[in-house]
Each structure stands twice: as C-alpha cells, then as structure tokens.
Amino acid sequence: MLQSPPALILGSTSRYRRELLERLRMPFTVQSPEVDETPRPGEAPAALAVRLALAKAQAVASQHPDAVVIGSDQVADLEGKPIGKPGTHERAIEQLRAMRGKQIVFQTAVAVVCLSRGFAAQSLAPVVVRFRDLSDAEIETYLLAEKPYDCAGSAKSEGLGISLLSAIESDDPTALIGLPLIRTCELLRQAGINPLGRS
C-alpha cells in the first residue's frame, strides 16, 4: 500500500506567498504562525529573515508534527539596516525616499520543517534591487495606486512598483514577491514532497 504524502501547510498570513505556492499545484492549507517579528539588537537583515522564516515554520509545525510546513520572511536591507513593512502611507513615503537612487537587497528566506521526520532546513534568496532616483510626486502616485503597506520596503514589483526600479538581480525569480519557489521546491524535495510527483 502506497503511503500518502504528508500534509503541506504554509505558515503565513501573506496572500502573496499563498498565490505563489498555488503555482506548484499541490494541495496545502494556510495557518498563521503567530511569531514576534521584532528584530534583535544589531541583527543583520539576512539573519533576521532566516531566523523568522524558521521560527514561522517551527511555530506551525509544533501544532502539526506530521505535516511539512513552509515558513518564509522577507527583510529589505538598506546599507545593513533592516526595513520591514511600512504599515502606513507616511512610513511608506519615508522608506521610498530613503531608498531612491540606492541599491537595496531584499533578503528573502524560506524554511521547511517536518517534526516527525526530524527535518528542518532553510535557504536564503537575496534579490539586489536598484531604485531609480524617484521624485516625491512619483512616490505619491505609486503609493496611491498600489497601497503596498504590507510589503517589505513598500516595493510591490509585480505591479506598478516595477516602474520604481532600474534593475533587479536574482537567481530565483519569485523571491522578490515573497517566496523563492526554486529554493522552496528544493527544500520540499528534501522533506519528501516532490512538486512533480508528490512522492
């Protein structure tokens, strides 16, 4: 008798990550990880992203030890300083003014955990983004159109936000949106779930 694959859970409240994971055409459920995302003193953006991705996966896995759980997090890295979700229009203006004309690294981490199998692994997919030297009027037009207040660094590249940028460099094309699917597939295979076979 064939053993059925473990349940797959996305430990995230992000609609962007849910939509990305749906591209893999595998059944999964979504659960909020309830993790404190406050950076630790002096914590580098990449380390913060990896720590939170793993913490999110572990938090949900603790309630579903037989499931394979995906956690992910993204932190915008401006010259070593972490920039999170703005939450408000005013904070988004501040973020985009600080980033205009500069190179930002969007540190996107993914973790996969299955407690019953003793499996836990994570991967980091940095995305280098160069912002144009934006005018205040361009920033305002973009924010009113997109309202990206739930996006790290206020940058929503899958929409009008692409016009903020002069270049994107990444080896995992969906990482900037919030879930690096190439790395996610690799970790899922290691955990026993093959997106092309469900074996």
Q: Known catalytic residues?
A: 73
The CA distance from 29 to 42, in Å, is 35
What DSSP character marks residue 131?
A: E
Q: What is the bridge-based pairing of β-strands 103-114 and 8-11?
A: unpaired
CB 50 within 8 A of CB 26: no
Q: What are the beta bridge partners of residue 48?
A: none
CB 122 within 8 A of CB 111: yes
SS3 189: helix
Q: Which of 167, 16, 141 is nearest to 89 (CA)?
A: 141
SS3 6: coil
SS3 10: strand
SS3 64: coil
